[in-house]
Structure 1
């Protein structure tokens, strides 16, 4: 238990003050910067909502009714849509807000006087929202083949077009990194990594990391991959991903690393992007952008409606990998746990659902 400084009044009734103490003593320096920022943002939202509704931010006035009303508000209008108007917040995000609020009140109950929270943590009495069934989509073998075909030709889609670009000038758009994008897509489909895990990878985690050794290597791996729940696992890298990574490391990464401060990340944003982070590390959202672009290029090349992808997401690659791994490993649960970084049976079942084309084939002649 963290003891309060002598200057802190355990009978104080300001939610703003207690939240700041909680962040200083239990969150900052303990949780990652990304998580700390998220918790801070969630607590500030609740404090602002309480103050706006009651005219004050007294901790003693926070009841289960108030927390439930905040939950319902977030679910109905907690986001801002593209048109600038209020929009619903996803159930999982609302529940994340509730979990952070509950952690704050549990901490306050431990350190404050008994009179401040006479009935304990008000957030614990508020049920989280029921989560919708996860959308699962593994690509069929024919779709995977055409996706890889597009990825292998990705450089042609980034070429500058028009008469004025013919000749000795640059062939590609300034921010285009086709070899990096190709390596990312092959890694997603060949390892089942989550987008956050991909951007968190450091070059030193790839073994071997030298392109000349990586290409002929019979076994390559990513060590110490950090996943959800503080899991840590080794991920093997297949042939397609090995070759794509070697091409990227040899031809593109060196140039972007030269413009970065301590460029430890495996995948770097283009050095030409003014707003990129000092260390060059990409954001998880950028993985969405890359994968969605591949999906659009894919569908533009395909005339058969049954093979079109619609919106392609990073998790579609994870589901595709999980189903294929399940088939090839004889539904080996231990292997699925190790490679996917999930011990939860519910998620293992979700990730290994077959594509519709395969599932339909099971009953075709029954």
Structure 2
């Protein structure tokens, strides 16, 4: 290997080898399985990029120029659709890739010989992409009303229909879990993030008995694990309590099969052969559930001002944050406590009103 000491194993100049060492010694078993998988995926993308562009994966050949070129590639064509079409990657996602690559090279610099990286860490001089100004995504009051209306009638959208079903008792599609979908939407309305909903366990619910849950006025989710290893208590409103009680009574028992260890609050349908061994929902499943409710909503309304386009889990969090900000008099401490966020950039975003409210402020000025 050109430029390396004769006593070095040639494998020591392999980017792929160093990535595996890093993952085994510093990531797997240290970070959650989901985060470790994401880091591995991002680093493998870089290794593939280097091997494809240079014809080899030598660690000593990674320069600032190569890292910069990879950043620009991700920004221009980092996403591949199901049809193989390349599309730009969001700036925040590109920066997440760069952060994982930077952590890798910081670790390599601390453990490898100086001859492998003679010019130092190649990621240090590659700045992240500037992020666009965050946009408020809170739903307008009219949209909130119609979303709740659709969610309250969600069973009717999952019923089997057709000539054979006329006059028969209503039956749902095999994988349909409307009560679960309703409960998830109302939980997002308490300020939870998608990852927090996925990670919820049944024992975090202060009151798990259905009868007590229906009549209780104060119910909490304890130790909700958020970003940065934070945890907080989340209070459940009336809609969330009733929706959770319906799910726990009518749907969850049938999905908590003997073949699983059903500690998760929300479970995949037992009829799905490919579900996880523990039955826990995946983040992608959450996106699908919420997105489908958004599509049903838009199909039910002809008012352009009420249409959502795409409903995302975070939209409900923004709506909750705006309402909390209004009712608490923009109390920063309360926003931090209930949202699990201390970043000024995002706290300011959460207090921004939806467009219809912002427009009404200046209508008569």
| Alignment TM-score, normalising by the size of structure 2 | 0.94
Partner of 1:264: 263
1:88-99 equivalence runs, <5 A: 88-99=88-99
| Cα deviation, residue 78, structure 1 | 1.9
Q: Which moved more, 1:344-353 or 1:300-309?
A: 300-309
| Cα deviation, residue 19, structure 1 | 1.5
| Cα deviation, residue 259, structure 1 | 5.5
1:173-322 equivalence runs, <5 A: 173-189=173-189, 191-258=190-257, 260-322=259-321
1:211-266 Cα offsets, whole Å, 9 max, x none, are 11111112101111111111111100011100110011011100011265101111
| Cα deviation, residue 152, structure 1 | 0.8
Partner of 1:15: 15
Partner of 1:55: 55
Partner of 2:36: 36
Partner of 1:4: none
| Cα deviation, residue 302, structure 1 | 1.8
| Cα deviation, residue 166, structure 1 | 3.8
Decide whether the 8 Å contact of 2:136 with 2:353 is kept in 1.
Answer: no
d(CA) in 2 for partners of 1:229 and 1:77? 30
d(CA) in 2 for partners of 1:57 and 1:248? 51
| Cα deviation, residue 169, structure 1 | 6.5
d(CA) in 2 for partners of 1:81 and 1:294? 23
Partner of 2:140: 140
Task: Name the Cα RMSD after superposition.
Answer: 1.7
Gaps of 5+ in 2: 1-7
Decide whether the 8 Å contact of 1:268 with 1:280 is kept in 2.
Answer: yes
| Cα deviation, residue 167, structure 1 | 5.5
Decide whether the 8 Å contact of 1:219 with 1:236 is kept in 2.
Answer: yes
d(CA) in 2 for partners of 1:43 and 1:142? 44
Decide whether the 8 Å contact of 2:223 with 2:231 is kept in 1.
Answer: yes
Gaps of 5+ in 1: 1-7
| Cα deviation, residue 68, structure 1 | 0.5
| Cα deviation, residue 10, structure 1 | 11
d(CA) in 2 for partners of 1:205 and 1:275? 26
| Alignment TM-score, normalising by the size of structure 1 | 0.93
Decide whether the 8 Å contact of 1:259 with 1:271 is kept in 2.
Answer: no
Aligned residues: 358
Partner of 1:358: 357
Q: Check 1:303–1:48 CA distance in 2 against 1; reply closer, same or farther (3 A cut).
A: closer
Decide whether the 8 Å contact of 2:11 with 2:17 is kept in 1.
Answer: no
Equivalent position SS for 1:16: helix
